[in-house]
Structure 1
């Protein structure tokens, strides 16, 4: 049972989004109930699950009258599902919680306390995560040690260029400031997924800060949205390309353009590696736009262009 509310503390909204998470759902919802922080609003959202998840969510909502439940008869996509809940919420801070993950009991308390030490320009706090398998067994930590140093190395402050250059944020650990989401008008509902786009748009005008602790257990399993990334037909491909074009428009310095070129080059090569040649050719076109094309990029990009046409799969 969660502690009694304390109106002197800032309200934190948890938007708990479920799609066919029945095997993991009770553990996820119990981790919300186990939070030590008292001022929490819980919005449960089911995105047209077919595995009995809706009944579990209804059970928890019935036992916790302050929790709000929305059952979507059709899958409206993660971004829209989050936005609808966020727009009806009241939290000063928000957590986008996938219900196959687990919150550690002091997650919210520690992140709110950390936020309160930060400048008003801090738009998001993130932390380390423990990666677990379907049975909840430890796999590794998101931020590990390599040659005696954290890897991937966390970054705090103005991180726009770093967000473009590399992946270092564990999405499930994020706590977002409401004002930041308001400024962005929430997630982009035209996209298949949310995190990279949020990082790009938010970090242009807001600072991100790393809290050096494990706050979340992130589950790795075969039904996760990202498991098919880069394969032909995977919806992540078009969304990532769209975000990279957005990022190009937001770049202001040569360092930022260099960082984006590193990202686009990586995306192009991964798409080509997995046979998504139309996507690889589209990334190559953006890389050409940046003016940062190497000889190897030329070989990969032109081969992808040719193979995409032989397959009849152009973008």
Structure 2
């Protein structure tokens, strides 16, 4: 197997309890040609000290402690500037890579051509203490997904519904370079990443559980459905981008359904200004 360099960018913000395990999971891959870049986004707990301990034990780690908090998207871009790999993994400091994650990703990419830019897999959801909760895709007795998972041209599917587990994603660096990195105006990155990358690149699915997604009380992901959440406005911005990217009627219909869902959610969360924005965007599609 050809072994191109893979850059794992581990982003930390107040994950003192979990960051060492995340970094170790990156270092202990069965695939050898890896660089680990840790970015601490000005944590206010003892994350910095925990990361420093790991750097002392593993001096090959590239560590970027940021002087002020700039948010996930901008912090990732700082790490991306230091990345020399042909492939990238965005690893949150509370998640865990299975040892074979990178090896399986490289194997998947080498089985297809360069029109494929993103690889993703199944994941295990675990509690803060690491106890099993569930799998992202239900599995059978052989560990395979019991239902078909979309791959190939998934642009229309990512508009329609959430089906990719974010921590499982591994992508070609050229994909994110063409996008200019993550959009720093957004509160979260994954929906925008999927939309913009899937417009130009195909996705390949690895039917294995390769990542542990930790469910942490009060995490950013859990706050996205709260009133006045910045996540809600970020979703609207991505939907506006989609409206300028659609090429056929089925994609337009998928966006209509997405907008109707977001309108319902905005009303339920009393975000009436945002509701009006969505209504205007929905009207413009006609």
- Per the TM superposition, whether the score is higher than 0.5 is yes
CA displacement 1:151-203 (0-9 Å, x = unmatched): 87521111111110111111100001011111111111111111100111111
1:284 to 264, 279, 282: 279
Specify every segment of 5 or more residues in structure 2 that has no aligned partner in the other structure, as ranges.
Answer: none
Q: Equivalents in 2 of 1:164, 1:151: separation in Å? A: 23
Q: Equivalents in 1 of 2:190, 2:45: separation in Å? A: 26
1:107 to 77, 91, 101: 101
The residue number in structure 2 matching 1:21 is: 15
Q: Equivalents in 1 of 2:18, 2:190: separation in Å? A: 22
The residue number in structure 1 matching 2:243 is: 248
Q: Equivalents in 1 of 2:145, 2:243: separation in Å? A: 29
Helix, strand or coil at the partner of 2:17? helix
Question: Are residues 1:57 and 2:46 paired?
Answer: no
Moved more, 80-89 or 194-203: 80-89
Change in Cα spacing, 1:151 to 1:194, as seen in structure 2 (3 Å) is farther
Question: Are residues 1:166 and 2:158 paired?
Answer: no
TM-score between both structures, scaled by the size of structure 2: 0.95
The residue number in structure 2 matching 1:272 is: 267
CA contact (8 A) 1:130 1:141 kept: yes
Moved more, 25-34 or 173-182: 25-34
Question: Are residues 1:200 and 2:210 paired?
Answer: no
Identify which of structures 1 and 2 has the higher relative contact order when contacts are C-alpha pairs closer than 8 Å and 6+ apart: 2
Q: Equivalents in 1 of 2:121, 2:145: separation in Å? A: 13
The residue number in structure 2 matching 1:183 is: 178
State how many pairs are aligned: 283
Change in Cα spacing, 1:227 to 1:89, as seen in structure 2 (3 Å) is same
CA contact (8 A) 1:143 1:153 kept: no
The residue number in structure 2 matching 1:71 is: 65
2:134 to 125, 135, 140: 140
CA contact (8 A) 2:125 2:212 kept: yes
Change in Cα spacing, 1:151 to 1:270, as seen in structure 2 (3 Å) is farther
Q: Equivalents in 2 of 1:151, 1:208: separation in Å? A: 19
CA displacement 1:245-294 (0-9 Å, x = unmatched): 00000001001001111111111111212222222222122112223xxx
CA contact (8 A) 1:127 1:214 kept: yes
TM-score between both structures, scaled by the size of structure 1: 0.86
CA displacement 1:98-132 (0-9 Å, x = unmatched): 01001101111111111111111111000000001
Q: Equivalents in 2 of 1:32, 1:260: separation in Å? A: 37
Q: Equivalents in 2 of 1:178, 1:83: separation in Å? A: 12
User: Cα RMSD over matched residues?
Assistant: 1.8
Helix, strand or coil at the partner of 1:22? coil
Moved more, 275-284 or 52-61: 275-284
The residue number in structure 2 matching 1:90 is: 84
Question: Are residues 1:227 and 2:225 paired?
Answer: no
CA contact (8 A) 2:118 2:171 kept: yes
Q: Equivalents in 2 of 1:51, 1:260: separation in Å? A: 41
Specify every segment of 5 or more residues in structure 1 that has no aligned partner in the other structure, as ranges.
Answer: 1-5, 292-315
Misfit runs of 4+, over 3 Å: 149-153
